[in-house]
Amino acid sequence: MSITRDQASVAAANIFDVSGLATLKHQAKAGDPASNKAVAKQFEALFLQMVLKSMRDATPHEGLFDSEQTQMYESLLDQQLGQVLGGSNRGTGLAAMIEAQLSRQNQEPQPFDAPLPLQPAGPAFSLPQQNKMLPLLQLPISSPLPLSSSSVPRVPMAPVSPRPATPSSVPSVVSLPDQVAVSAVSAPAPTFSPAAASAAQRAFVHRLLPAAMAAEQKTGIPAHFMVAHAALETGWGKSEPRRADGSPSFNLFGIKAGTNWHGSSVEATTTEVVAGVAQRRTERFRAYGSYAEAMNDYVQLLTNNPRYATALGTREPARFAQRLQSAGYATDPLYAAKLERIIDGGALRQALTG
């Protein structure tokens, strides 16, 4: 019984199809040459899933509807897309190269218990040649490059312990074209950084930073904490409440216009969580003449209201965010986690240093 094209497509059609993968595994163990194509498509699908995951990780997640549940469904969607793209007839071309490699390996298999030939058909090293090659094979692997002094955090690379290599221990994937096979020894140590800051995010941070630094002297709260708070409330300036004529209200922190507010105000739609249920409401928010005026009002709110006394002077992102939420600043149960993620995120760090 050989695996057909329809069976191979079914095995790659659904990420939850365990039976299809089990059938493919059985056919591969039986040495069926037709299973090479299906196996190669599975490897291509895994590669595409890694690419999609890297693209998803590089995208900012500070959205209104972002949560652990949406991230889970996005992960499932990416896995399914990888399976569909990898299982298509065209794909990226990686499956064809892997299939050719597997086909070469399966040609004329050597019996497991057969004795080694005295004179192998392929090229072999003579004893003097082996003595010349041994020092080269025992050279230590180069250590990772030093980390950059940039303020953007980078993931340190663990040192690789050197070990002697033999022709039989080299995996067969090195025979693939150079465009596909990547050497982990000769290439520089890869560095990973969070999502890069966009031009709009950099402009938003640079616009608020002077007023935030002045507010830091009054509250003891780090300036970039307050910039991150404004980024969360306004979506990096994209969702700032606007007046009826379309001009900005300069409301950075979502402060509502209560009965004790005697200045100008604007109406805007907001989301409030009541009894665990998100509700869309139209509320009145304070309007200011400048961002500096909005920052000063934010400082007065924190310093004059005893509820926020524990947040003043806090220099730890998690503690600052949690104390704001505990004081009732917002009704979103994930408010503290979202604020902490922006404070520690790469977009804010790069915008501050760029």
**Quick count: other Cβ atoms within 10 Å of Cβ 195?**
16
- Say how far apart CA 336 and CA 349 lie, in whole Å: 19
The active-site residue out of 272, 332, 340, 344 is 272
80: CB partners within 8 A, 6+ apart: 14, 15
The answer to whether 3 and 35 are in contact (CB under 8 A) is yes
The active-site residue out of 99, 297, 316, 332 is 297
- Say how far apart CA 277 and CA 233 lie, in whole Å: 19
279: CB partners within 8 A, 6+ apart: 271, 272, 273
Q: Which amino acid makes up residue 124?
A: A
Residue 272 a catalytic site member = yes
CA atoms within 13 A on the CB side of 21: 12
Q: Is 3 exposed, middle or buried (0-12, 13-18, 19+ CB in 10 A)?
A: buried
Is 248 in a helix, a strand, or coil? Answer: strand
CA atoms within 13 A on the CB side of 178: 2
Closest listed residue to residue 237, CA positions, set 246, 228, 245, 95: 228
- Say how far apart CA 262 and CA 257 lie, in whole Å: 8
Residue 152 token pair:
């953007």
Residue 24 token pair:
């493919």
Residue 297 a catalytic site member = yes
Distances in Å between the Cα of 343 and the Cα atoms of 95, 150, 225 are 42, 17, 6
List the catalytic residues. 272, 297
